[in-house]
Structure 1
Amino acid sequence: MADTTQSTKVWKKFRRNTLALTGLIFICFMVVVGILGYLITPDQTPYVNTMHLQLTNKKPGRTFQFLIVSRNENIKQVGLFEKMLFGQEANFKSIPITSSRIVGNKVFAREYIGDDEQAEEEAYPLVSGQNTYQKTYYLGTDIYGRDLLSRLILGVRVSLSVGLMAVLISMVIGVGLGAIAGYFGGKVDAAISWFMNVIWSLPSLLLVIAISFALGKGFWQIFIAVGLSTWVDVARLVRGQVMALKQVEFVEAAKALGFSNGRIIVKHILPNIAGPILVVASANFASAILLETGLSFLGFGAQPPMPSWGTMIKEHYGYIIMDAAYLAVLPGLAIMLTVYAFNLIAIGLRDAFDVKGQNTSV
């Protein structure tokens, strides 16, 4: 009952913080978008990687007509859950056109090759079913003619999944080492503290790059790399909190009752420092997203064609000084809003748990 009462008090204090609550709502919205994934993307092919090089860097809101030139009936139609996770491979190939007409069993169409150019009319075989369709690119297309909105939506998955897995890894390592160092003290504390100081002295991005070199490039490797670089904050916090709590009455009583050290740490000490741990975990989530996007920008993160906000900025940062700055600004804005939302949550949790002296900024 006491835990429920404490949780209720924390929630009431948290929801009174308008900015923190707004950040939580935004993150919940992003989580829903990330889970739905391909079900809400205009391009539902794997990695939203449908390219039309004729449509490179088209402005947001442009609508184009497409001609289906061939169909592949052997493509397997996947179920709803599999489609949500991995997408559905297209069973046709199409080209953008400016006009078309059907004569007999042929379709005569002019392929779109630019706004100011006119292609000659060519004949294409008439395929069964629908021959033409229209598609609107609500946020325009990238340098490869891919739908920018689809890639932004799927990029949510990369950032949130890397952040979540990195935080879980850092929590397991940080809480474990910090609790051991703070509880046992002495030579154990000295050895763990020395190791933490060594890791602490290394710049996070350089450490992640070094780990990525060791593990190789890839999506799963980035989980481990980012997680191994963010555990020190958790360990230092837990160590200090455990050192402060191990001398209090309820811990001494547990020792007198003969409880094991492991039980005392897990059952009695850690639940009492859950608040500060949640605060630093929220801040580390934001740090992990920034590290992942930085790695992707440098080419060590999620590898193409997997959509990543950092990779999207890397591909389009040259357009910032041109008339297509939105190609880099939109993924940058997504990163900024997501990181800011997690920082707002961290500040809200800090105030709700009344955690003093903890740095929750990234």
Structure 2
Amino acid sequence: MSHKSTSLSSIALQKFKKNFWGVLSFIVILFYAIIALFAYVLAPDDTQYANQMHISIHSQPPGFTVNLLQLPSVQTESSFWDWWNGKTSTIEEIPYSDLDFKDGNFYYRPYDVDGNLLPFIEVPLKLGDKMDLSRFRESYTSKKTFLLGTDKYGRDLLSRMMIGTRVSISIGFVTVFISLFIGIFLGAVAGYYGGKIDAAIMWLINVTWSIPTLLMVIAISIALGKGFLTVFIAVGLTMWVEVARVVRGQIIVAKEYQYVTAAKALGFNNFRIITKHILPNIMAPVIVISAANFAASILIESGLSFLGLGAQPPMPSWGSMIKDHYQYIILDKAYLAIVPGIAIMTLVMAFMLLGNALRDALDVKTS
């Protein structure tokens, strides 16, 4: 005889599955997370930071195709961690429009975006008369299509977008972890014990909340220098205050409930009452706040990168990509700024919708 599970977790999961926008947002977040994890495996340009520049083909539209001359350069050994860190480029790619063979030497005509016929340049390889032009094409040339076009430095925009996903996803996870760790601890202590402890923690919360994130980033940048780690610390240290206030308010109300009085009567210690009895019953608003903090941290990081205080070049970041190309919005190449903007918008919206769906699923007052 089959028995249908009626546990709170299974009920919450069933309610979540019925929420179309919640499931869709979860799929979108999972999609971005997979791209972030396997960015260098999926990206067309798998070199570190996808930083191969081709100035002669800068700012080309999506679907742009060009012939590339691939000349051997530095020889390096491959590593297992190349899938995570990216490969060191071992070839030099040169866009060309035509090839020629004369007097035992190969020549290429550099690509020109305006269609001008530039003079031929000798290929710096001594291959002799044994290799004809057709074999040279097979060995040292390729045709490459840039699905999202190229940026103003001639780099593959799609690859930069994929690797830039790591910055947004990772800073979201780190800041949410910091906010939960600090916020839940201080909020629980303040709300449960009250008195002078509550007053001291609330003073710390108010002081921290009064410091603008940008000001804190500037201060930390002076101490640690601009970079990825600075953004992690600065954003994380400003996100916990809202969690602490929510947890404090919820515990002030929850500690008066009968199940807490019963737990005290049974002789349970305060740590067990807070962690085992109160916190599991107040996590719904905390989860919503965490989802909002995840979305807010992505926006803050993008804004800081736009101002030059976030991830530093050549590390790709959606905010810095908008910074590099925002002037193109008034030209016919607005997609260079719109593409990363759409990525930021969809990821932030997905987290907000996911938070709302989890709030509804975990709300014990609804059936």
TM-score computed with the length of structure 2 as normaliser: 0.90
Which of residues 214, 231, 234 in structure 2 aligns to 1:222?
A: 231
Aligned counterpart, 1:18: 20
RMSD: 2.2
Aligned counterpart, 2:44: 42
Residues 211 and 260 from structure 1, CA distance in 2 versus in 1: closer, same or farther, beyond 3 angstroms?
A: farther
Which of residues 320, 324, 342 in structure 1 aligns to 2:351?
A: 342
Which shows bigger deviation, 229-238 or 123-132? 123-132
Aligned counterpart, 1:7: 9
In structure 2, the gaps of 5 or more residues are: 128-135
In structure 1, the gaps of 5 or more residues are: 357-362
CA distance in 1, matches of 2:193, 2:163: 45
Which of residues 13, 31, 34 in structure 2 aligns to 1:32?
A: 34
Aligned counterpart, 2:121: 122
Aligned counterpart, 1:77: 78
Does residue 234 of structure 1 match 2:243?
Answer: yes
CA distance in 2, matches of 1:34, 1:199: 31
Partner of 1:230, secondary structure, is: helix
Correspondences of 1:258-297 after superposition (within 5 Å): 258-297=267-306
Partner of 1:139, secondary structure, is: coil
CA distance in 1, matches of 2:192, 2:85: 46
Residues 214 and 130 from structure 1, CA distance in 2 versus in 1: closer, same or farther, beyond 3 angstroms?
A: same
CA distance in 2, matches of 1:221, 1:281: 21
CA distance in 1, matches of 2:217, 2:230: 10
**Is the CA contact (8 Å cut-off) linking 1:57 and 1:140 kept in structure 2?**
yes
- Misfit runs of 4+, over 6 Å: none
The number of aligned residues is 353
CA distance in 1, matches of 2:178, 2:33: 20
CA distance in 2, matches of 1:5, 1:329: 45
**Is the CA contact (8 Å cut-off) linking 1:106 and 1:126 kept in structure 2?**
yes
CA distance in 2, matches of 1:27, 1:144: 30
Aligned counterpart, 1:314: 323
CA distance in 1, matches of 2:262, 2:104: 89
**Is the CA contact (8 Å cut-off) linking 2:15 and 2:361 kept in structure 1?**
yes
Deviation at 1:199, TM superposition (A): 2.4
**Is the CA contact (8 Å cut-off) linking 1:297 and 1:313 kept in structure 2?**
yes
Amino acid at match of 1:85: W
Deviation at 1:143, TM superposition (A): 0.9
CA distance in 2, matches of 1:332, 1:88: 27
Deviation at 1:126, TM superposition (A): 4.7
Correspondences of 1:128-167 after superposition (within 5 Å): 130-167=139-176
Which shows bigger deviation, 265-274 or 227-236? 265-274
**Is the CA contact (8 Å cut-off) linking 1:209 and 1:295 kept in structure 2?**
no
CA distance in 2, matches of 1:211, 1:253: 47
Amino acid at match of 1:111: P
Amino acid at match of 1:46: Q
Deviation at 1:351, TM superposition (A): 1.7
Which shows bigger deviation, 341-350 or 193-202? 193-202
**Is the CA contact (8 Å cut-off) linking 1:313 and 1:332 kept in structure 2?**
yes
CA distance in 2, matches of 1:229, 1:214: 17
Correspondences of 1:48-127 after superposition (within 5 Å): 48-72=50-74, 74-79=75-80, 82-103=81-102, 105-124=104-123, 125-126=125-126
| 1:98-156 Cα distance to aligned partner (Å, 9 max, x none) | 01134465211111133332111122125698211111111111111100000011111
Which shows bigger deviation, 293-302 or 115-124? 115-124
Residues 326 and 12 from structure 1, CA distance in 2 versus in 1: closer, same or farther, beyond 3 angstroms?
A: same
Amino acid at match of 1:97: Y
Aligned counterpart, 1:359: none
Deviation at 1:9, TM superposition (A): 1.3
Aligned counterpart, 1:183: 192
Deviation at 1:4, TM superposition (A): 7.2
CA distance in 2, matches of 1:26, 1:17: 14
CA distance in 1, matches of 2:234, 2:104: 57
Aligned counterpart, 1:360: none
CA distance in 2, matches of 1:355, 1:249: 17
CA distance in 1, matches of 2:47, 2:299: 27
CA distance in 1, matches of 2:332, 2:149: 13
CA distance in 1, matches of 2:229, 2:257: 42
Partner of 1:233, secondary structure, is: helix
Residues 112 and 306 from structure 1, CA distance in 2 versus in 1: closer, same or farther, beyond 3 angstroms?
A: same
Which shows bigger deviation, 222-231 or 307-316? 222-231
Amino acid at match of 1:51: M
Which of residues 304, 320, 335 in structure 1 aligns to 2:313?
A: 304
**Is the CA contact (8 Å cut-off) linking 2:322 and 2:336 kept in structure 1?**
yes
Deviation at 1:205, TM superposition (A): 3.9
Deviation at 1:244, TM superposition (A): 1.4
**Is the CA contact (8 Å cut-off) linking 1:275 and 1:355 kept in structure 2?**
no
| 1:200-246 Cα distance to aligned partner (Å, 9 max, x none) | 33444444444444432111221111111111110011101111122
